[in-house]
Structure 1
Amino acid sequence: MASSLNANLNQPSLRIRNHKPTRAAVKMMPIGTPRVPYRTPGEGTWQWVDIWNALYRERILFIGQNIDEEFSNQILATMLYLDTIDDSKRMYLYINGPGGDLTPSLAIYDTMQSLKSPVGTHCVGFAYNLAGFLLTAGEKTKTTPKFTPAITHLVIVKSRQLKCGIVWGSDSSTYEFASFMSFLWCTLYDSFSVSKGNRSAMPLSRIALQSPAGAARGQADDICNEANELLRIRDYLYNELSKKTGQPFEKISKDLSRMKRFEAQDALEYGLIDRIIRPPRIDADLGPSDASAGLG
């Protein structure tokens, strides 16, 4: 009986298998630049392109590394090409980097100022040194007068009528003068158009600025010439920052004598950016479970 049982257990169909069941091979994401599906507007076919190419086609440029000559030339070529394709659409420059070399960074800045297309800048992490300088180079808030000859003539006529009929010291004259000032204020208020700036940052972004630095070697005259050139570039940067932020040149020169760090709110108050990108406001009446929904 025992021998027959052992014989049955030794049969291939009755053997107990100890190894684990096989699983499907795990597919890992390939190492390298991610690729995403993209369809060119007006075409029905999709194609796989790298993530940077897809962003470029949407007029989005990303500075996430040290700015050297090669990277600067790539950004410049992309900007010039997009500006040639359509100069009415805005470009977006996302910044999350430590800055870089002086000359390549200035080349990007000068190109941004010469383009017909508006350029918006956005700090998503940190923007140090010349990367912070490029952040301030975006399209800022502008107040543009829109006086017309008709409005100017109306103000002149109204002022002449008031000047001829006014009797100083009387109640009626005081009322007429107050009415004219109210009219003038409303006219001036309606005669200016305000365009919101497109320089923004995330709430936890960090921005740091300092005076440009450099190195020189050689004869004494060569070192002196390099120092004078660096001082000239420093004054140029300070003047541009003064225009972009509205701060006096002397204040900027004093603040940036050493590295000055800004949080997002500090950068907004200083004039480096125009707004802070925040999550949608949470209703105070919502409970804890409802208030946290949708924030990721």
Structure 2
Amino acid sequence: TRSAYDIYSLLLKERIIFLGTAIDDQIANVIVAQLLYLDSENHQPISLYINSPGGVIYAGLAIYDTMKILKSPVSTIAVGFSGSMGTVILAAGSSGRRYALPHATVHMHPAGGGAKGYTEDVRIAYMEQERLENQLFYLMGKHSNHPPAEIAEMFRRDRFLNAAEAKDYGLVDEVLGDIDDLVALRATSPRMQPVGFRTAGSPDK
């Protein structure tokens, strides 16, 4: 709708990009174009808000690679739900600029997919899925300071983290807000400390 288009255009003028859907080629092309446009304007920080369940790995890696070639620092902010490929993008934000809102959920799992047809084609598809999974786990480890093998063990099945747990694991650098009322189903690490209350409209302002 026109109103929806206008609000995202207004945000773009403030160097704010919103990834609010599953990631496919069309969405990735828009995000890539917005990143390139803002970087061509100047090299001030860009804020990328993420509320996405993930999606197509190839499309997500297009966003990832574009973030990494920009001269502008990119802040990533998890709002609502950051899942799968969305979490890889979240963790890939510029150092010290990866955030989560207090009640954001951060999720990761092994690469999924399916194949049918001739046996050799199924085998090729399986090998490609395994390659992509290894690539994502390597990137997750790189940006969270964990060995890829540890990442593979951590996320061998669906794993959901609250904002404080995501910070504790190294997927984000800071939680923007009060985490005193967060609920966890398992014991938290002794390294996890409340970040206190912070008021901020945008982390880059």
Q: What TM-score bracket applies, with the shorter chain setting the length?
A: 0.7 to 0.9
Distance in 2 (alpha carbons) for counterparts of 1:241 and 1:67? 18
Residue 50 (structure 1) aligned with residue 19 (structure 2): no
Aligned position for 1:109: 64
5+ residue gaps, structure 2: 181-198, 200-205
Q: CA deviation at 1:80?
A: 0.9
The residue identity in structure 1 corresponding to 2:35 is M
Q: 1:119 aligns with which of 59, 68, 74?
A: 74
After superposition, the C-alpha distances for 1:219-274 in whole angstroms (9 at most, x for unaligned) are 11111111111111111111111110011221111111101110111101100000
Structure-1 separation of matches of 2:127 and 2:6: 44
The 5 A counterparts of 1:277-296 are 277-278=176-177
Does 2:118 align with 1:213? Answer: no
- Are residue 64 (structure 1) and residue 20 (structure 2) matched? yes
Identity of matched residues, %? 36
Question: Equivalents in 2 of 1:132, 1:269: separation in Å?
Answer: 15
- Which residue identity lines up with residue 131 of structure 2 in the other structure? R
Aligned equivalents of 1:232, 1:199: Cα separation in 2: 26
Structure 2 partner of 1:76: 32
AA partner of residue 68 (structure 1): D
CA distance in 2, matches of 1:266, 1:119: 22
Aligned equivalents of 1:241, 1:202: Cα separation in 2: 20
Find the counterpart in structure 1 of residue 41 from structure 2.
Answer: 85
Runs of 4 or more above 4 Å deviation:
none
Structure 1 residue corresponding to 2:163, chosen from 256, 264, 271? 264
Cα-to-partner distance string for 1:11-38 (whole Å, 9 max, x where unaligned): xxxxxxxxxxxxxxxxxxxxx4437xxx
1:250 aligns with 2:149: yes
Counterparts of 1:99 and 1:198 in 2: how far apart (Å)? 20
User: Which residue matches 2:202?
Assistant: none
1:165-184 to structure 2, matched below 5 A, reads none
User: Once the 2 structures are TM-superposed, how far is the Cα of residue 117 of structure 1 from its aligned partner?
Assistant: 1.1
Deviations 1:141-178 (A, max 9, x none): xxxxxxxxxxxxxxxxxxxxxxxxxxxxxxxxxxxxxx
Q: Determine the C-alpha separation between the residues in 2 that align with 1:252 and 1:33.
A: 43
C-alpha separation between the residues in 1 aligned to 2:40 and 2:167? 32
Q: Deviations over 1:30-89 (max 9, x none)?
A: xx4437xxxxxxxxxxxxx70010111111100111111111111111111111111x21
Measured on the aligned residues, the alpha-carbon RMSD in Å equals 1.7
| Matching residue's letter, 2:89 | L
2:166 match: secondary structure: helix
Superposition pairs of residues 156-195 of structure 1, within 5 angstroms: none
* Matched position secondary structure for 2:9: helix
Q: Which AA in structure 1 matches 2:74?
A: V
Say if 2:88 and 2:139, in contact at 8 Å, map to a contact too: no
